[in-house]
């Protein structure tokens, strides 16, 4: 979460059909860790670049699963726009 006013509510999914039960629930939420920011900034990055790098690193495994380059680029632009 990138702001002090940010909030996240994860919503689990539960599907029951007779003897077949399927439950899905996954969420990763957290604030930027001070140690990560300190590490990057102590190596010369300014605050905003360090923040963008950490967020990009969080989203990268998800983005790599999208098979269309154009879609990946648009989503990345949206994330960067939200951070500004």
The whole-chain average pLDDT of the chain stands at 82
Question: Can you give the C-alpha Rg of the chain in angstroms?
Answer: 17
DSSP letters, the chain, are --STT-------EEEEETTEEEEE------PPPHHHHHHHHHTT--HHHHHHHHHHHHHHHHHTT-S-HHHHHHHHHHHHHHH-
Query: Would you kindly state where each structural domain of the chain is located, as residue ranges?
Result: 33-83
Q: Is-above-0.85 flag for pTM?
A: no
| pLDDT tens digits, 22-54 | 666 666 677 788 899 999 999 999 999 998 899
């Amino acid at each position: 979460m990138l702001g002090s006013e940010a909030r996240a509510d994860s919503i689990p999914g539960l599907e029951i059909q007779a003897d077949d039960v399927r439950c899905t629930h996954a969420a990763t939420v957290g604030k930027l860790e001070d140690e990560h920011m300190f590490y990057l900034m102590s190596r010369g990055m300014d605050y905003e670049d360090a923040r963008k790098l950490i967020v990009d690193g969080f989203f990268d495994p998800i983005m790599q699963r999208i098979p269309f380059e154009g879609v990946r680029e648009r989503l990345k632009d949206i994330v960067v726009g939200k951070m500004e």
